[in-house]
Amino acid sequence: MITDKQDYVLCSHCDLVIELADVAIGHKAICPRCNTTLFKNNINMKFRAAMYACCSIIMLIVACGVVFIDINLVGNVNGVSVLDIPKILFFDNYSYISALFVLFVLIFPLLNLSIIALLCSKIKLTKYRKRDLLIVYEKFQHWCMPEIFLTGVLVSFVKLMSYGSIGVTSTFWAFCLFVFFYIKALVIFTPGKIWNEIHRNNFALKPLEVAMTGISQNIKLCHCCHAIVPVEYTKCPRCKQKSQVRERDKIQWTIALLVTSLIIYIPANLFGIMITVVFGSASTSTIMDGVIYMWQAGDVPVALVIFAASVVIPILKIISLSWLCYFALAVKDKNKHNCLKMKKLYNAVEFIGKWSMIDIFVVSVVCSLVRNQQMMGVYPDIGVCFFATVVIITMIASQKFDPRLLWDRTPTRK
């Protein structure tokens, strides 16, 4: 069975105009120049995406209900639910971290799952309502982190074992299922299909030449709905969002954000991220203190995970984005091989960027559980706010960068 024909697409990474043949069900179309996935035609996309989205929402509601982790501290059992973690952080005067937790782990994923369920259901929606829902989905997709929180919970188990015995309830497995169904829904859902139901994707005023760049044909790509739009159009006719031929001014934003994140990264490592109080005596631990502690305790894999996510990845991301900006602005003699390397580097930066939040979630879980007022308590410290800010700023910096600039001045062949 052959379905979902699209005449032309404009690659979002290399700006190449490509004519698509019919995409068979279960297959996808890939850009011949930069290997970017252009279109997917999943089997029963709407039914499967809606099913997984609804299952994920149900599991999240179950997981938020009761205690999902507990710890035995010298005979006292402390337990927390998913909703207890932001509450405890808020009452510790860390409302900033509490808000990030609520947004990234709960609200944004729940919002996007609801949008998938609505768009893929049989509920009749106007094209304007579909457009608004898709715009919201695109804006919040990069800020959903339930899988990173779950990984942070698993990493925190190792550290919590030094304080007492850990226990999990059936609610914990419900949260695991929530994350699993969430990932499945995102992988299956294809926004391009819904956009094509609203309107065709080609608004070019003249016939397009295949294997030539869009900028050479006076057309541009809408970054919101990926429609092909003439350069003279200020707004995309399909999604009504503003777009530019090349967002060169955003490189300045990227560089400014990278400098800011590098400055903030210094206090993030100098100040402590956790305060441990034992019999009234307080001690502060930094990110590196946590890595050293895990290493000395024999938990080498966990130490390496925390070191990579909290130390190596932020630095590599800043260096990588700086190199991408240099390549886009200063390198004049480009070839396909070098551009493909830069494209892979950009994809890696996009993928691993938010995983640095794992240390924030580890601190949140440990500080919420270890609370024995008479003997021991663990509390967040100011360093965790600096580090979370570094992660957020570097994520914004990578989103500001326009990858099409990497391919400009690169020859194309018809």
Q: Where are the beta strands (DSSP E) in 52-97?
A: 69-73, 76-80
pTM: predicted TM-score of the whole model, two decimal places: 0.87
Contact 242, 250 (CB under 8 A): no
Residue 5 has a pLDDT of 43
Using one digit for the tens of pLDDT, what is the confidence trace for 373-396? 566 778 888 989 999 999 999 999
Q: Is residue 323 part of a domain?
A: yes
Last residue of a domain, one of 137, 157, 173: 173
Using the 3D structure, point to which of 173, 190, 222 is the last residue of a domain.
Answer: 173
| 167 and 280 together in one domain | no
The tally of domains found in the chain comes to 3
Instruction: Determine the pLDDT at residue 101.
Output: 95
Domain C-terminal end among 154, 173, 192:
173
**Can you give the pLDDT at residue 166?**
84
> The domain containing residue 69 runs over which residues?
48-173
Q: What CATH number is given to the structural domain containing 297?
A: 1.20.140
Inter-residue contact 235 to 225 (CB < 8 Å): no
Angle at 354 between CA 327 and CA 362, to 5 degrees: 145
Number of Cβ within 10 Å of residue 284's Cβ equals 15
Is residue 82 within 8 Å of residue 97, measured between CB atoms? no
Whether residue 253 sits in one domain with residue 314: yes
Asked whether residue 179 is assigned to any structural domain, the reply reads no
Indicate if 118 and 75 belong to the same structural domain.
Answer: yes
Neighbours of 373 (CB within 10 A): 8
**Pair (218, 338) in one structural domain:** no
153 in the same domain as 78: yes
37 and 150 together in one domain: no
In which residue ranges of the chain is pLDDT below 70?
1-6, 74-75, 247-248, 279-280, 297-299, 372-375, 409-414
The DSSP string of 158-185 is HHHTTTSEEEE-HHHHHHHHHHHHHHHH
Same domain, 303 and 155: no
Flag whether 133 is in a domain. yes
CB of 186 closer than 8 Å to CB of 49: no
Report CA torsion sign: 52, 137, 319, 16: positive
Q: Would you say residue 117 lies in a domain? A: yes
d(CA 19, CA 17): 7
**Amino acid identity, position 154:** L
Between the alpha carbon of residue 279 and those of residues 145, 370, 372, the distances in Å are 36, 13, 10
Whether residues 58 and 96 fall in one domain: yes
Residue 286 forms part of a structural domain: yes
* Closest to 405 in 3D by CA, of 224, 244, 217, 195: 244
Q: Are residues 226 and 259 in the same domain?
A: no
Residues 277 and 376: beta-carbon distance below 8 Å: yes
Would you state the pLDDT for residue 118? 95
Do both 251 and 398 map to the same domain? yes
CA angle 56/59/63 to nearest 5° reads: 135
